[in-house]
Amino acid sequence: MEILFVSHKYPPAIGGIEKYSFELINGMRKYAKVHAIVYEGKESLPVFFLKLRKRILKCIAENPAIGLVHFGDGLMASVCSFHRGYKHLRRTATLHGLDVVFPSKLYHRYILPRFNCYDHLFAVSAATAEKAVAFGLDRSRVSVIANGVDRNMAFHTRASRKEVEQWLAQKEDGIRVGNRRIFVLMGRPVLRKGFSWLIRHVGPHLGEDAILLIVGPFSKRKTLLEKVLYAIPKKWRHKLVLFLGFPSDSQHIREILADSSLGAQVRHVGKLPQDRIQQLLAVSDAFLMPNIAIEGDMEGFGLVCLEASVMGTVVLAADIDGIPDAIRHGRNGFLLPSGDAAAWVEQVNHIIADTSLYDPYRKSFQRYTLNHCGWDLMVKAYHKVFRALVENNCRTAYGEKS
């Protein structure tokens, strides 16, 4: 079996979809001959999309044994649904969440229904699949295959808490942890992540024995793009912010960091290399993912929760969108009501009071994630569907010729 993968979300860019694309494409090499057309930043993205059909047809012509073309996300599926010249092949796509719920009536009326032209659609979570069906996609064509996680993270060399405290103190802002409980939030500062919500509604009730560390890309000053976006009418700004993946929570976080009553308890660490992230997660008292409901947006899965769990970190996550497909309550983390400040205050304070009570959970939650989640398991599930589609297409073609 030969498969062509097409994706505009791929390393060196960083993100959940980029990780998914990399792991699926390279993991599938174990089961099939793989061809890939991916965006690696060597040209502008508009140019990549303009040349895409020609490149796909060229690859298929040079490799006539290709039986299936897989598109990595909804945007790619939208563009390529208009292509001609390779509809005789099986075509599939993966939906990640925002590419289903994007707040545009035109998109939902004219573009999303075109996805029914694909032979199969994969959703990264049950919530994503339900949203897709609700917007008119054929339920019989949609199946759920959750993302995986790098299980090798659990076996990487770790650092002691003292070592982590030292390199945090050596950062430009000089982050002093001391004896405080460490709670980590991680990711792009977009509103749905709930970073500013948690800091404003939960942070003041945690006392001085806790410090909230935010990890991820962050600009300490308002960027030019941010100034331009906020000059646009709100109706259009929201759509642009979502489409661009713009860090819509940045200004709120800046205001919090400048607030003397909260600033000392909340610090933004900025982007960290992967080994530093793993070291920090391993010594933290809990990882927090307090997502909230934002119209026209959703968390398709929650990969970062799995990464924290693999490191043996207690995960507290909001019971919303696709997060429950990553975190199973009481098995590899705890799910809390989204937007319920009282519930979050109670749970976090319980950890602050006696973190040793959660040591058994660290081990059992980590073990569950290692046993039930993994990129290899995801790849096998995709391969099973790919193979069935290709074999069925071959039988149909053979029958027509006969």
Dump pLDDT digits (tens) for 89-124: 999 999 999 999 999 999 999 999 999 999 999 999
**Binning pLDDT at 50, 70 and 90, where does residue 338 land?**
very high
Angle at 349 between CA 345 and CA 350, to 5 degrees: 120
Residues 59, 5 contacting (CB under 8 angstroms): no
pLDDT reading at 15 higher than 80: yes
Residue 340 structure tokens: 């319920």
Percent of the chain's residues with pLDDT above 70: 97
pLDDT bracket for residue 395 (50, 70, 90): low
Task: Return the pLDDT at 157.
Answer: 73
Averaged pLDDT of the chain: 93
Element (H, E) at 390: helix 375-401
More confident residue, 208 or 402: 208
Of 56-60, 170-174, 200-204, 242-246, which one has max mean pLDDT?
A: 56-60
pLDDT value of position 396:
58
Q: State yes or no: pLDDT of 355 exceeds 60.
A: yes
Q: Would you say residue 224 has pLDDT above 80?
A: yes
Q: How far apart are CA 96 and CA 104, in angstroms?
A: 17
Range with the poorest average pLDDT among 14-18, 59-63, 155-159? 155-159
Q: Residue 230: pLDDT band by 50, 70, 90 thresholds? A: confident
Q: Are 151 and 310 in contact (CB under 8 A)?
A: yes
- What pLDDT score does 156 carry? 80
Are 308 and 205 in contact, with CB atoms under 8 Å apart? no
Q: List strands edge to edge, sheet with 315-318.
A: 266-270, 210-215, 181-186, 286-289, 315-318, 334-336
Domain 151-372 has CATH 3.40.50.2000: yes
Beta bridge partners of 68: 3, 90
Residue 218 banded pLDDT, cuts 50, 70, 90: very high
Q: How far apart are CA 289 and CA 292, in angstroms?
A: 9
The total of other beta-carbon atoms located within 10 Å of residue 26's CB is 14
Give the pLDDT of residue 402: 33
Average pLDDT over residues 341-346: 98
Please list, in sequence order, all residues whose beta carbon lies within 8 angstroms of the beta carbon of residue 117, skipping any fewer than 6 positions away. 81, 87, 91
Architecture (CATH level 2) of domain 2-148+374-401: 3-Layer(aba) Sandwich (3.40)
| 401 pLDDT more than 60 | no
For 31-62, what is each residue's pLDDT tens digit? 999 999 999 999 999 999 999 999 999 999 99
Rounded to an integer, what distance in angstroms lies between the CA atom of residue 267 and that of residue 117? 48
> C-alpha distances in angstroms, 220 versus 56, 63, 232, 256?
41, 49, 22, 12
Q: What per-residue confidence (pLDDT) applies to 44?
A: 95
- Which is nearest to 3 in space by CA: 24, 25, 26, 34? 34
Ranges in the chain annotated CATH 3.40.50.2000: 2-148+374-401, 151-372
Integer Cα distance of 160 and 158 in angstroms:
7
In this model, does residue 283 exceed pLDDT 70?
Answer: yes
State the pLDDT at residue 158.
81
Q: Cα(first)–Cα(last) distance of the chain, in Å? A: 22
Amino acid found at 294:
I
